[in-house]
Structure 1
Amino acid sequence: MSPSTKSREELKIFTPIGQLGQGFNEDIFWETVESGVDAIIADGGSTDSGPGRLGLGLPNVPWSRLARDLEIFAKAAHLYHVPSLIGSIGGDGENAHVDTAAEIIAAAVKEKGYRPLKIIKIYAEIPKDLVRQKLADGLVGPCGGGVPDLTEDDIKSSTRIVAQMGLEPYLKAMRENPDFDIIIGGRAYDPAPYAAFCLYNGFEDLGVNYAMGKIMECGAQCSIPKSREGLAIARKDSFDMIPLDPKSKCTTVSVASHFLYEKPRPDILHGPGGALHLDQTTYEQLDDRSVRVRNAKFVPEAEGEYTVKFEGAKVNGFHTIFLGALRDPILLQQLDPWIELIKGYVSEKMDGLGFDYDLKIHRYGVDGVMGPLERDHTVGKEVFIAGQARASTQDQADQVAGMAKFAFTHAPYPGQLATAGNFAWPFTPCEIPMGPLPEFCVYHIMHKVDPIGLFPITVVDATGDNTYVHQPRKLTAGDTKIKKLESPQTYWLTPEPAAGTCYLADVASVLRSKNSGPYELTLDVMFPNLEVYNKVKRTELLNRETICKLYSVSDSQVIASLFFDQAMAYKATIARPAVSGGFGETDTHGSQQHIPLMYLTLPFGRD
């Protein structure tokens, strides 16, 4: 593949799924590739799902599922000479995952009889000594308000450290290998492969390139209803966003609101080497399904001041869990003191055994999902218990969990009628050893780095004998027909709000929470039209004070609180009460923390 010698007016970039390995519609895939695209670009992962991948060296999905997607990309390269660019392969983008992915593609080329393919590997792991030197030079700082300062112990205990590459390594790889077929990148800034491919082909507006990449790295998640397969048409001054699932559509609000997704604030998105500014960005509805985006601006860092984010996780002991539920109303009326009684019983039994441990009891149905952020501790008719024990060895964690589960089953309580047992558990054995417990310990910014030299590039020539005989795909009737969108059904919250008032959820079109990295939680509220948006904005109820009250946090823990007019949205970001995926975690993805905002009462009715 090489850039055209003629002036190009547009690039068609296809993303079949927001996270490689999660599966996509093959009919849509081949129909799109056959119709003509310039590149297939896909993101492989992030820190969303916690520290397990980075700390334990595991892929985010089974290699069999990643192999399925990679083999399809190889087939597209063979048949149609469509190049593919991948970022953060395997989830964490470590070197071993880059190598494994390349081996999978090479094996497929040989086994299927494809033509020889040129595979480029870009590595993202960085030496710990480099991190130590940068720390000593005062060139390392936290990435976000909730991140503690980096320590030598953090560096030493990390199983590996990866840096998040920008567009530069991809651009170098393409310029030095214009006949490339597939680029497999280690940990990468999600929009970087998109921006690099556009720049390589002469599209020099990095504001457009990065904005397009930021939307497309999630596939067509910005569509309504959210879907997987997305197509972007990039131009010199704009890009169009088109969902490929015929049941979905993009609107100006759905696209604009996606810039809020998993970011601390929507108007300035920081990344390697600069920041994407979206405060002047405009959105135009082209038809009933596609949107054109203009006027995003990329502001580069000063020469010599290039920064990258780097990430690391460690193993902090071993853990064992047990799962079950409580249903007896007599017990549920005295749940708190009974659980304290159990903790005391476990402590008494473990005393003298010579090891330290931690025991966490999550009470889903009371405060399990939100943990320390929960304000409503009402107990329902059932409570689901997720117990977690941590110790220095697996055997020790098993002992603690086993003792706690036994106590949950048989500990007495005043007024007890059901003397056969208290605890309903669905699996046996109930105590489930989980192995090493990973925790994030590095999530920082490194200043004054070489954006290319930090990320080594290796070329692999996958040999094939080009004997593959292609069988044309059989189309089924109605493949290309646009299906009618179903009208959404309305659901009202209970209990009903007081007369003349409504809940925020009654008037919002989107209300969600999400991790913004491992140390922050971000909250987004979007509205269906300007009338509703301005009506809510005028109440002045969406502010820092309200967030503090609803989430029981101090003002210093509120990192952002602002309205974003382009998306008719409000955003707040707070420091997470616990690092994502660590011991005692209640919601690793951070996606179920929006409920208190749903019930914020507004001083006007629903209509």
Structure 2
Amino acid sequence: MNSELKIFTPIGMLGYGFSESIFWSTIADGIDAIIVDAGSTDGGPSKLALLHTSATSEAYKRDLGLLVKAAHLYRIPVLIGSAGGDGANAHVDITVDLIADIVSSHGYRSLNVVSIHAELDKEIVRDAFHADALRPCTAAVPPIAHSDIEDAPRIVAQMGHEPYVKAMKEHPDFDIIVGGRSYDPAPYAAFCIYRGFIDLGIAYHMGKIMECGALCAVPKTPEAMAIVRKESFDIVPLRPEARCTAFSVAAHTLYEKSRPDILPGPGGSLHLESATYEQLDDGRTVRVRGARFLAELEGKYTVKLEGARMCGYQSAFVGGFRDPILISQIDDFLDRVRAMIQEAIPHPYELEFHVYGRNGVMGSLEPETDTISKELCIIGRAKASTQAEALHVSHVALTCCKHMSYPDQVATAGNLAFPLIPTNMPMGAVAEFCIYHLLEVEDPTAFFPNHLHIAQGTGSGARYLEDVPCTPPSGYGYLGNMASVIRSKNAGPYELTFDVIFPDERMFALVKSTAILHAEAIARLYHIKPIDVLACVWWAPANAFKATIKRKIANGSFGEADTHGSAQHIPLLYLTVPIPRDS
């Protein structure tokens, strides 16, 4: 066993692209494995329900082309998790086929490619349902119904490290492993375990950071390297302009997680209360120690099941309002549009207006409902049981928005500026998550069979608020001017999480001492019930505060205006914080 492992991640999501020059120079310096995540629920439910992919076929071919060439030339093992975005069997198989095409067309040596499937037979899920053995993944997830199981065209289980370890042991001469739906850090932890680095706390913590590439760097960049040892690991970004700091790596623990100290996954939880982050002398590398993985009790191993269903068809139009007379009465205008549509449409439908410049991004969470821009962008979205019915609804809505009169109107030629032709666009099927539940399993590898494929070859071998015209009251400051990072992000499909990260311990302590940030304050700020604030944590290792709330609409479902949840942080920017006199 080597004293350390060097694991290279060229990008946080396969298909998003990365630097070819950095890729080859890193490989030339010597690495032990290339590991890349390819999936997430971030992009919504359409991948699972409709077999969409996270990236285009051309994007996958480009990134896979470099990975396959590295495996061919340098015999570097490559591990890919959650193929296609959702980890469905079809997307695993498509990825394997793309690899085979690359090998064949470039005249590479034959490669051993191992696939790991992650779809469940519905009968297993039905039996679990009737045995009352399925429970929601978090408090934000609704209880499962039998119709949820029947409506989902496919159901995947999220695998831990065990199926990857099993695949490597059964096929020790593998070149590439293509995994179905995976816990994001599972391939990283598995490779560490397979190579003798068996501390799951170290392995999973490293994987949890690395699966995003160098997102933890300043500035954030794609390519990252982890150097793993028995009792620690180092994280270093590979672009010369980027550096990791103890602060930035600790802060990454908050990213898209419900809470930063305990991260649940298949078979147990990663505990980071005692983790430490040490800045090394080069100013770019951070050494991490102290994470613990606490396994679930024997016989209580759980995996997460994910499923989504089609729930109709949608169509949309995009346009802009600039007339100040109309803008001043926009709410009443749109109410009258809705009333006219209700009279004109006999079949069931849903209609949403997203008004950008009003509350288009934040929707019901927007606190500044009395503020309005000089011009508004409107997106009308209709949903119905067929594409034709959805198009009819959006057509009527578009016509009303273009030509309906309003009090004091002087511009009678039309109301709406529209940039796209055709103006009324069919958007295809719309999907929603319906399964996000835990199931206890006896064997963590039982649902995840692996298969060996021979890819036949012929060869051998900035500050936020400086320009805002308003100022806080005397004796107060804006939170946005006190924090170095304020962000929002999905924490799974049903939760929205907020991170407030302060530049130093002094500012962290100052804001914490004001007691301005707590669950009730978050509930007031976002117009939600206190019970829907699921977590509220001060996190000293990263000088940070985190809050997690229940989503009003699961990400990607019809009516959602911010699928990634990354534009919901604005009220926190303008939260007024009392400034102690001695500060």
1:369 paired residue number: 361
The one-letter amino acid paired with 1:195 is A
After superposition, the Cα gap between the structure-2 partners of 1:558 and 1:366, relative to the gap in structure 1 and judged at 3 Å, is: same
Q: Quick one: which of 562, 576, 583 aligns to 1:587? A: 562
After superposition, the Cα gap between the structure-2 partners of 1:547 and 1:499, relative to the gap in structure 1 and judged at 3 Å, is: same
After superposition, the Cα gap between the structure-2 partners of 1:374 and 1:489, relative to the gap in structure 1 and judged at 3 Å, is: closer
Q: Quick one: which of 404, 429, 439 aligns to 2:432? A: 439
Gaps of 5+ in 2: none
Distance 1:397 1:508 in 2: 44
1:521 paired residue number: 496
Root mean square deviation, CA, Å: 1.3
Matched, 1:160 2:140: no
Contact 2:463–2:481 under 8 Å retained in 1:
no
Q: Quick one: which of 9, 12, 28 aligns to 1:34? A: 28
Contact 1:308–1:449 under 8 Å retained in 2:
no
Deviation at 1:450, TM superposition (A): 2.3
SS class of match (1:231): strand
Deviation at 1:448, TM superposition (A): 2.8
Distance 2:467 2:260 in 1: 28
The one-letter amino acid paired with 2:167 is A
1:569 paired residue number: 544
1:479 paired residue number: none
1:540 paired residue number: 515
The one-letter amino acid paired with 2:311 is N
SS class of match (1:159): coil
1:308 paired residue number: 303
Contact 2:464–2:480 under 8 Å retained in 1:
no
Distance 2:562 2:172 in 1: 44
Distance 2:437 2:121 in 1: 15
The one-letter amino acid paired with 1:500 is G
The one-letter amino acid paired with 2:6 is K
2:214 paired residue number: 220
Q: Quick one: which of 250, 254, 258 aligns to 2:252? A: 258
Alignment of 1:218-297 (within 5 A): 218-286=212-280, 287-297=282-292
Deviation at 1:492, TM superposition (A): 1.5
1:44 paired residue number: 38
Q: Deviations over 1:191-233 (max 9, x none)?
A: 0000000000000100000000000000000000100000000
Distance 1:509 1:374 in 2: 22
Deviation at 1:515, TM superposition (A): 0.5
Matched, 1:143 2:118: no
Q: Quick one: which of 114, 121, 124 aligns to 1:120? A: 114
Taking structure 1 as the reference length, the TM-score comes to: 0.94
SS class of match (1:78): helix
Distance 2:289 2:467 in 1: 37
1:359 paired residue number: 351
Deviation at 1:490, TM superposition (A): 7.5
SS class of match (1:90): helix
2:393 paired residue number: 400
1:346 paired residue number: 341
Q: Deviations over 1:296-335 (max 9, x none)?
A: 0000011211101111110001110111111111111111
2:527 paired residue number: 552
Q: Quick one: which of 381, 402, 407 aligns to 1:409? A: 402
Deviation at 1:104, TM superposition (A): 1.1
Q: Quick one: which of 163, 178, 184 aligns to 2:178? A: 184
- Percentage identity across aligned positions? 52
Alignment of 1:587-606 (within 5 A): 587-604=562-579
The one-letter amino acid paired with 2:349 is Y
Taking structure 2 as the reference length, the TM-score comes to: 0.98
Contact 1:373–1:577 under 8 Å retained in 2:
no
Distance 2:442 2:305 in 1: 12
SS class of match (2:534): strand
The one-letter amino acid paired with 1:107 is D
The one-letter amino acid paired with 1:394 is Q
Contact 2:465–2:480 under 8 Å retained in 1:
no
Distance 1:449 1:310 in 2: 15
Matched, 1:204 2:204: no
Q: Deviation above 4 Å: which 4+ runs of structure 1? A: 488-491
The one-letter amino acid paired with 1:72 is L
SS class of match (1:390): strand
Q: Quick one: which of 302, 309, 334 aligns to 2:329? A: 334
The one-letter amino acid paired with 2:378 is I
Distance 1:527 1:572 in 2: 15
2:475 paired residue number: 500
The one-letter amino acid paired with 1:535 is L
Gaps of 5+ in 1: 1-6, 469-487
Deviation at 1:499, TM superposition (A): 3.3
Distance 2:428 2:500 in 1: 38
Distance 1:261 1:125 in 2: 28
Q: Deviations over 1:5-25 (max 9, x none)?
A: xx3110000000000000000
The one-letter amino acid paired with 1:260 is L
The one-letter amino acid paired with 2:2 is R
Distance 1:197 1:212 in 2: 12
Deviation at 1:523, TM superposition (A): 0.4
How many corresponding residue pairs?
579
Distance 2:104 2:344 in 1: 60
Contact 1:502–1:605 under 8 Å retained in 2:
no
The one-letter amino acid paired with 2:407 is P
2:373 paired residue number: 380
Deviation at 1:489, TM superposition (A): 6.6
Deviation at 1:406, TM superposition (A): 0.2
The one-letter amino acid paired with 1:563 is W
Distance 2:384 2:71 in 1: 49
Q: Deviations over 1:72-95 (max 9, x none)?
A: 111101111101000001100110
The one-letter amino acid paired with 1:270 is P
2:15 paired residue number: 21
Q: Deviations over 1:234-269 (max 9, x none)?
A: 000010000001111101111011111111000000
Q: Deviations over 1:31-56 (max 9, x none)?
A: 00111000000000100011111111
Distance 2:467 2:367 in 1: 18
Distance 1:326 1:52 in 2: 31
